[in-house]
Amino acid sequence: MEFKDYYTTLGIDRNATQDEVKRAYRKLARKFHPDINKEDSAEQRFKEIGEAYEVLQDTEKRAAYDKFGKDWQAGQDFKPPPDWDNGFEFNGGGYTENDASQFSDFFESLFGAQGRPGAQDPFAGQQARYAGKGQDLHAKIVINLGDSYLGSKQSLTLQRPTVDDSGHVITRPHTLQVSIPRGITEGQQIRLAGQGAEGMGGGTNGDLFLEVAFSKHNFFTHDLRDIMLTLPIAPWEAALGASIQVPTLGGTVELKIPPNSQTGKKMRLKGRGLCSAKLSGDQYVTLAIMVPKPVTEKDTELYNSMKENMSFNPRSHLGVHL
Partner 1 sequence: MKPELQCTIIDESSEYSLRELCNVCKVHAQFIQDLIDEGILSPQGQSPQEWRFAAIEIKRIQVSIRLQQDLRINLPGTALALDLLDEITQLKRSKSYLDQFYALDNDR
116 contributes a contact to partner 1 by CB under 8 A: no
Instruction: Please classify residue 196 by burial: count the beta carbons closer than 10 Å to its beta carbon, then call 0-12 exposed, 13-18 middle and 19+ buried.
Output: buried
205: contact with partner 1 by CB under 8 A: no
Q: Which residues of 253-281 are buried (b: 16+ CB within 10 A; e: fewer)?
A: eebebeeebeeebebebeebbbbbeeeeb
Q: Which residues, 6+ apart, have CB-to-CB distance to 83 below 8 Å? A: none
Q: Are 6 and 51 in contact (CB under 8 A)?
A: yes
Question: For residue 42, what are the contacts with CB-CB under 8 A and spacing of at least 6?
Answer: 32, 33, 34
Residues 6-45 that bind partner 1 (CB under 8 A): 26, 29-30, 33, 35-36, 38
Q: Pick the closer one to partner 1 by CB: 43 or 85.
A: 43
Check binding of 259 to partner 1 (CB under 8 A): no
Which of these ranges, 56-64, 110-118, 234-242, 283-291, lies near partner 1 under the rule CB under 8 A? 283-291
Determine the interface stretch with partner 1 among 10-18, 88-96, 176-184, 303-311 (rule: CB under 8 A).
176-184
Amino acid identity of residue 62, one-letter, is R
Residue 193 interacts with partner 1 (CB under 8 A): yes or no:
yes
Asked if 294 is part of the footprint of partner 1 (rule: CB under 8 A), the reply reads: no
Residues of this chain, 131-160, that bind partner 1 according to CB under 8 A: 133, 136, 138
Contact between residue 274 and residue 256 where contact means Cβ atoms under 8 Å apart = no
* Least distance between partner 1 and beta carbon 232 (Å): 6
DSSP-derived secondary structure for 113-143 = GGG-TTS--TTTT-GGGS-BPPPPEEEEEEE
Q: How far is the CB of 264 from partner 1 (least distance, A)?
A: 9
The sign of the dihedral angle between the CA atoms of 48, 49, 51, 55 is positive
Asked if 241 interacts with partner 1 (CB under 8 A), we say no
| C-beta separation of 12 from 24 below 8 A | yes
End-to-end CA distance of the chain: 72
Exactly one of 278, 315, 317, 321 binds partner 1 (CB under 8 A); that residue is: 278
Residue 258 binding partner 1, by CB under 8 A: no
Residue number, 30 or 307, with CB nearest to partner 1: 30
172 binds partner 1 (CB under 8 A): no
Determine contact, residues 166/193, Cβ cutoff 8 Å.
no
Minimum CB–partner distance for residue 179 and partner 1 (Å): 6
Kindly tell me which of 8 and 286 has the beta carbon lying closer to partner 1.
Answer: 286
User: Does 191 participate in binding partner 1 (rule CB under 8 A)?
Assistant: yes
222 binds partner 1 (CB under 8 A): yes
Q: Is 134 exposed, middle or buried (0-12, 13-18, 19+ CB in 10 A)?
A: buried
Rounded least distance, CB 221 to partner 1, Å: 5
User: Nearest Cα to 163, choosing from 136, 212, 216, 199?
Assistant: 199
Applying CB under 8 A, which of residues 42, 119, 139, 192 lies at the interface with partner 1? Answer: 192
H helices of the chain, in order, are 6-10, 18-32, 42-56, 59-66, 105-111, 145-150, 235-240, 297-309
List 39, 40, 89, 223, residue binding partner 1 (CB under 8 A): 223
CB closer to partner 1, 219 vs 312: 219
If one asks whether residue 232 binds partner 1 (CB under 8 A), the answer comes out as yes
Positions in the binding site for partner 1 (CB under 8 A): 26, 29-30, 33, 35-36, 38, 46, 133, 136, 138, 176-179, 181, 184-185, 187-195, 207, 209, 211, 219, 221-223, 228, 230, 232, 276, 278-279, 286, 288, 290
